[in-house]
Structure 1
Amino acid sequence: MDQPSGANARISPRQSVACPFPQEEVTVRPKITIRIGQLLSGGFVQANEL
């Protein structure tokens, strides 16, 4: 029963990332959200200007 649960935990990217690198996920997430925000805001600005 322990082996399958361990395999599932390793397969799931969130757990594998949150366990070994909890800080990395925290630092990577804001960068992604900022990039998406910049892309969205840039797209909206261009659409409004047009």
Structure 2
Amino acid sequence: MPSNSNGLDLELNKRARLLKSLFLPQLVEADRRRQNENREERTHLDRDQ
């Protein structure tokens, strides 16, 4: 193990947090859209029965 592994881990964690903060709103919106689509599909399936 290199002696600077903790520093590298901290740097990766900082980058991961930054990426999450940048992309989280898009992920939340995509998830909400997918849930709405699933709900609409279930409604159509219920009507077809």
* TM-score scaled by length of structure 1: 0.53
TM-aligned CA deviation for residue 22 of structure 1: 3.3
Identity of paired residues, percent? 6
Structure 2: how far apart are the matches of 1:44 and 1:26? 27
What RMSD in Å do the two structures reach over aligned CA positions? 3.1
The equivalent residue for 1:30 is: 28
Q: Number of matched residues?
A: 43
Higher relative contact order (CA 8 A, sep 6+): 1
Structure 2: how far apart are the matches of 1:19 and 1:34? 22
The equivalent residue for 2:39 is: 41
Structure 2 runs not aligned, ≥5 long: 1-15
Which 4+ runs in 1 deviate beyond 6 A?
Answer: none
Letter in 2 for 1:25: F
Structure 1 runs not aligned, ≥5 long: 1-17
